[in-house]
């Protein structure tokens, strides 16, 4: 799937954020990106913080293990998630594919 790539213990996601949603959650795919609805507004970095918290909770990783690589002021973002092991990253990718199917 084109919305993510894996490099050893790192998962890189291409995400399209929809701020000001009624609830936070995965909202399917949008072109070549994972669509994530966020309850937070797109002001003062609140949507970015909400995205990091949402991904941290979903994948059960520390917030410090998540970094927005590009798109901090855009709806389209590239996000890096660092896992303890390569197999953890593979399981996370499988969990994400399961949620989308």
- How far apart CA 26 and CA 16 sit, in angstroms, is 10
Asked if pLDDT for residue 1 goes beyond 70, the answer is no
Instruction: Report the DSSP beta bridge partners of residue 29.
Output: 34
Strand, coil or helix: what is 10? strand
pTM: 0.94
Q: What is the number of structural domains in the chain?
A: 1
Instruction: Report the DSSP beta bridge partners of residue 13.
Output: 4, 79
Strand, coil or helix: what is 49? helix
Q: Domain residues for 68?
A: 4-100
CATH number (domain holding residue 23)? 3.30.1200.10
State pLDDT tens for residues 22-78: 999 999 998 899 999 999 999 999 999 999 999 999 999 999 999 999 999 999 999
Q: Residue 12 contacts by C-beta under 8 Å, 6 or more apart in sequence?
A: 4, 5, 6, 69, 78, 79, 80, 81
- How far apart CA 55 and CA 26 sit, in angstroms, is 10
């Amino acid at each position: 799937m084109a919305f993510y790539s894996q490099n050893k213990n790192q998962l890189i996601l291409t995400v399209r954020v929809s701020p000001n949603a009624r609830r936070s959650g995965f909202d399917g795919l949008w072109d070549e990106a994972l669509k994530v609805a966020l309850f937070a507004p797109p002001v003062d970095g609140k949507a970015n913080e909400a995205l990091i918290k949402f991904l941290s909770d979903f994948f059960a990783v520390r917030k410090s293990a998540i970094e927005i690589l590009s798109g901090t002021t855009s709806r389209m973002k590239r996000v890096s998630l660092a896992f303890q092991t390569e197999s953890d990253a593979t399981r996370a990718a499988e969990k994400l594919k399961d949620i989308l199917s």
